Structure formats: C-alpha cells, structure tokens
Structure 1
Amino acid sequence: MDVFHAYTYSTAGWLALQSVPLIAGPSMIVAMLLDETRPASSIELYFARSLGFSLLAVAMLTMMLTGSIPLTTGISESVTTDDSDPKAPYAYPTLMVTFMFHALSAFYTYTSYVTGGQSVFAVAVAGNSALAFVGLWCVLFASSNGKISRRTGADKRTAGFPFSNKEADKKRAGKKRI
C-alpha cells in the first residue's frame, strides 16, 4: 500500500472515529462541553448528530473520490492518482481539501489546547497534525509520476539550485561545442 492510500484510509478512519461519539452519545458530548449540568436541548442533539453524520459522509466521500474504494468490478485494475485516470479523477482535489481540513483542524485544536489546557485537545492536535503532514507529503511528492526522461531516467523538473549537477553541466558543455 502506498502512502496516498494509507493517507486516505487514515483520514476516513480519523473522521469516523470522531463521528461515533457524536452519533452514539450526543447528550454526553453536550454535557462535557457545558460548565453547568443540564439536559441537552433538542437543537443541541440535532446539531451533534448532524455533525457526526456529516463527518461519516466526508469520510466515505474521501474514500470514493480518491479511488481507494474501487467502483469497478475488475480486480486487476490498479488505482492511481494520475489526473488522466478515469477511476479516480477527483483524487488530487480531494487530497487538497482533506489536507487543508486537517491543517485547519490542527491549528484550531492547538489554539484550543493552549487557551483551555485540556488534554483531549492535545490528542486532537496530534492526530490532525500527523494527517496534515502526511497530506502535505502526498501533495508534494505522491501526486504525480513526474517528468521522467526516457533517455536518462532522471526527473526533468529538477533544478541545479543550490547545488549544481556537474555531470549535466559537462554534457551540456559538450553539446554546445558540437
């Protein structure tokens, strides 16, 4: 399993893990958020369950739009993140949206942890930050195959800054003389 699919599975798992308490026990969640003890109102229960179902929907959409759940009947077909791949045409946009979601959630939970000091926010910071870093890695390195040269096998998008490529400079200098 490559890093991209591990990221999509862990994103779906993290969102599903967050949705379970919101769906199963919304009154407990509301009671933990309040300073005084009182029963949860019907609107609070509605919003808690709606958020839980929304998190589950986003988790399923992430799995489907990235191609991690194959929607075809053929098992031998491989799933890639290539833009021209018809099996996962929305893989890169979904990757960008989930990466931004995890980054913003990590920032929000970090500020909540700093101001409130509750340990549950520290767990949320760790989970969201880890997924944001893996998502950033996927955006930078796992989103395309690069421009691989057929002759040399090197990536054509690389530059010589800040280190120069002496062998490439020798080959270029040799071509200029001819």
Structure 2
Amino acid sequence: MEVYYAYNYATAGWMALQSVPLLLFPRMIVTMLSPEVRESTLPNHIALEIYFSRSLGFAVITLGLITVLLTGSIPLQTTFSDTSSNLEDPTAPYALPTLVITTTYHALVSFYCYTMWNDIGNFGFGISCIIGSLLAGSGIWCVLFATSDGRISRKTGADKRTSGFPFKNVEADKRKAGKKRL
C-alpha cells in the first residue's frame, strides 16, 4: 500500500507544481507557449489569457487535492467516534475510481506532451512527458497490483487465484493426491 499512497501524494504534488506557474506568472506562461513572438496590444486579450491561465491553475490544484482526499490518503471523519473498527480497510470507497481517473489523466497528458515535444521540441513538454509517463505507469501498477488483498489461504499462505499454467505446481498436486487417498 505504500506505493499507492506514494502515487497519490506524487500526483497531488505534480499537479500543485504545474499550477504554481499558472497562478503566479500567467503572462509569462502564455508568452513562453506561444509559437510566434507577438505583442499583446489589447488589454482584453491579456485579461482573458490571465483569467484562463489562473482558472486552469485553480482547477489543477483542486484536482490534486481531491485526489488525495478521495483516495483515503488523508483519512476524513464526519464524527469524533472511535476509529479502531475502520483500521482494517484504510482506503476510501472512491479510491479505485479516483485511481483509474488520475491514471487516465496522466496517460492522456503524457501522450499530449509527447506529441507536442515531437512537434515543437520544447524541453518543458519533454519533462512533462517523462513525469506524466512515470505517474501513469505507477498508477497502472497500483490498479493491477495494489487494489486487492488477494485470497490468501490460511493453511498454506499461498494466493488461491494462482494457477499452474504454464508451469506445474508439484506441491499442490501432491496435496491433492494425498487428499484423494484419505
């Protein structure tokens, strides 16, 4: 579960890091991402660019905070009751859907940044592609491996969902043969 919580905090941190320049320096961001050098002559265009940049910054930081809250990384309680009964399942009920949505988000953003990096060659798109791909990969890993406790046998300690394909499980075959004799 440590990878799962690390993924949640890394997602929130990456989104917060992306939103800081949008909130603090919107005119610089718009100027850096513009394909041609231009001078803004109309103050309405500048105000519109600043508005969209800051709105996107607030949306990205909000998405990062919601990710941390909905996945159960920060336990939320509505009452001050005893929480000892909730210690068995530390994840929130919306953990898996939030994990899938943020993983899809990271995959789509990293694909977009990759296409822009190939088209324009901007270093920022390359870094965003690499970090987004790492977060998408760790999100996929969490979806595949960190979302289930498995079905662990109390007698043998092995996972009951495993099969013998493509290799034979000699120990399991011995136990089955021993049970048939009894």
Using structure 2 for the length normalisation, give the TM-score.
0.86
Which letter maps to 1:15?
Answer: M
Q: Give, in whole Å, the separation in 2 of the partners of 1:8 and 1:78.
A: 24
Query: What per-residue deviation string (whole Å, max 9, x for no partner) do you get for residues 104-152 of structure 1?
Result: 1111111111111111111001110111111111111111111111111
How far the C-alpha of 1:78 sits from its partner, in A, is 9.6
* Structure 1: unaligned runs, 5 residues or longer: none
Greater Cα shift, 16-25 or 43-52? 43-52
Q: Give, in whole Å, the separation in 2 of the partners of 1:48 and 1:66.
A: 27
2:53 counterpart (48, 53, 70): 48
How far the C-alpha of 1:75 sits from its partner, in A, is 9.9
Which letter maps to 1:144?
Answer: S
User: What is the number of equivalent residue pairs in this alignment?
Assistant: 175
Q: Give, in whole Å, the separation in 2 of the partners of 1:107 and 1:165.
A: 41
Aligned to 1:96: 100
Aligned to 2:29: 29
Aligned to 2:162: 158
Which letter maps to 1:43?
Answer: L
- Alpha-carbon spacing, 1:80–1:54, altered in 2? closer, same or farther (3 Å): farther
Q: Give, in whole Å, the separation in 2 of the partners of 1:161 and 1:131.
A: 32
Using structure 1 for the length normalisation, give the TM-score.
0.88
1:63 counterpart (59, 65, 68): 68
Q: Give, in whole Å, the separation in 2 of the partners of 1:135 and 1:76.
A: 28
Which letter maps to 2:111?
Answer: F
Q: Give, in whole Å, the separation in 2 of the partners of 1:103 and 1:15.
A: 14
Aligned to 1:124: 128
Aligned to 2:12: 12
1:168 counterpart (160, 163, 172): 172
Q: Give, in whole Å, the separation in 2 of the partners of 1:142 and 1:54.
A: 28
Greater Cα shift, 115-124 or 11-20? 115-124
Which letter maps to 2:110?
Answer: A
- Alpha-carbon spacing, 1:93–1:31, altered in 2? closer, same or farther (3 Å): same
Alpha-carbon RMSD across the aligned residues, in angstroms, is: 2.3
Which letter maps to 1:8?
Answer: N
Query: What per-residue deviation string (whole Å, max 9, x for no partner) do you get for residues 79-107 of structure 1?
Result: 8895xx6x611111111111111111111
* Structure 2: unaligned runs, 5 residues or longer: none
Structure number with the bigger relative contact order (C-alpha 8 A, sep ≥ 6) is 2
Q: Give, in whole Å, the separation in 2 of the partners of 1:47 and 1:113.
A: 23
